[in-house]
Chains A and B, each alone.
Chain A
Amino acid sequence: MNEPTQARTDRAFLERLMEYMMLVRKFEEAVFSLFQQGKLHGTTHLCVGEEATGVGSVFALEPQDCILSTHRGHGQVLAKGVSAKDAMAEMLGREAGTNRGRGGSMHIADVSVNAFGVGGVIGASCPIACGVALSFKMRGEKDRVAAVFFGDGSSNEGAVHEAMNLAAAWRLPVLFLCTNNGYGMSTPLEKVVNDTDLTKRGQPYGIRSTEADGNDVLAVFEAVAEARAYILKEERPALVVEHTYRTSGHSKSDGNQYRTEEEIAHWLSVNPVARFAKVLLADGFSEADIAAIDARASAAIAEATAYAEACPYPEASPRDLEAETYSD
Chain B
Amino acid sequence: MREITYAEAVREAMCEELRRDENVFFMGEDIGVYGGAFGVSKGMLREFGAQRIRETPISETAFVGAGVGAALMGMRPIVELMFSDFISVCIDQIINQAAKLRFLFGGAVSVPMVLRTAAGGGTGAAAQHSQSLESLYTNIPGLKVVAPSTPYDAKGLLKSAIRDNNPVIFLEQKTLYRVKGAVPEAEYTLPLGLADIKRAGGDVSLITYGRMVQMCLDTAEKLAADGIDAEVLDLRSLSPLDADAILRSVKKTRRAVIVHEAAAFSGFGAEVAARIASDESLFCLKAPIKRVGAHYCPIPFSPALEGKVFPTPERIEAAVRECL
Contact = CB atoms under 8 A, between A and B. Distances in A.
Interface of A: 66, 97-103, 107, 109-111, 116-118, 120-121, 124, 126-136, 138, 146, 158-159, 162-163, 165-166, 169-170, 321-322, 324-328
Contacts of A98: 106
A327 B142 CA distance: 9
Interface stretch (B60-68, B150-158, B285-293): B60-68
A162 B62 contact: yes
A162 B59 contact: yes
B271 interface: no
Contacts of B72: 116, 128, 131-132
B92 A121 contact: yes
Pick the most buried of B52, B105, B141: most chain A CB atoms within 10 A of its CB.
B105
Nearest to A144: B73
A220 to B, nearest CB: 24
A109 B65 contact: no
Contacts of B281: none
A136 B75 CA distance: 10
A127 B105 contact: no
19 contacts: A99-B104, A99-B108, A101-B106, A102-B103, A120-B96, A124-B92, A127-B62, A127-B93, A128-B69, A131-B65, A131-B71, A131-B72, A132-B73, A134-B69, A138-B25, A159-B92, A162-B57, A324-B102, A325-B142
A129 B69 contact: yes
A179 to B, nearest CB: 20
Given A99-B106, A324-B103, A124 B69 contact: no
B106 A130 contact: no
Interface of B: 25, 51-52, 54, 56-57, 59, 61-75, 77, 92-93, 96-97, 101-110, 112, 141-142, 144, 165-166
B59 A166 contact: yes
A174 to B, nearest CB: 10
A327 B57 contact: no
Given A101-B106, A107-B104, 17 more contacts: A97-B106, A102-B103, A103-B105, A124-B92, A128-B65, A128-B68, A128-B69, A128-B72, A131-B71, A132-B72, A136-B73, A158-B61, A322-B141, A325-B102, A326-B142, A327-B102, A327-B166
Contacts of A101: 106
Pairs A-B, 8 closest by C-beta atoms: A131-B69, A127-B65, A100-B106, A327-B165, A162-B62, A131-B66, A135-B73, A327-B110
A135 B96 contact: no
B74 A131 contact: no
Contacts of A163: 61-62, 65
Contacts of B92: 121, 124, 159
Contact of A159 (B25, B65, B71, B77): B65
Nearest to B164: A327
Contacts of B51: 138
Given A159-B61, A327-B166, A100 B107 contact: yes
A130 B65 contact: yes
A183 B51 CA distance: 40
A321 to B, nearest CB: 8
Given A99-B106, A118-B101, A146 B63 contact: no
Given A132-B73, A135-B70, A322-B141, A166 B56 contact: yes
A201 to B, nearest CB: 15
A132 B108 CA distance: 16
Contact of A162 (B61, B109, B110): B61
A131 B68 contact: yes
A165 B59 contact: yes
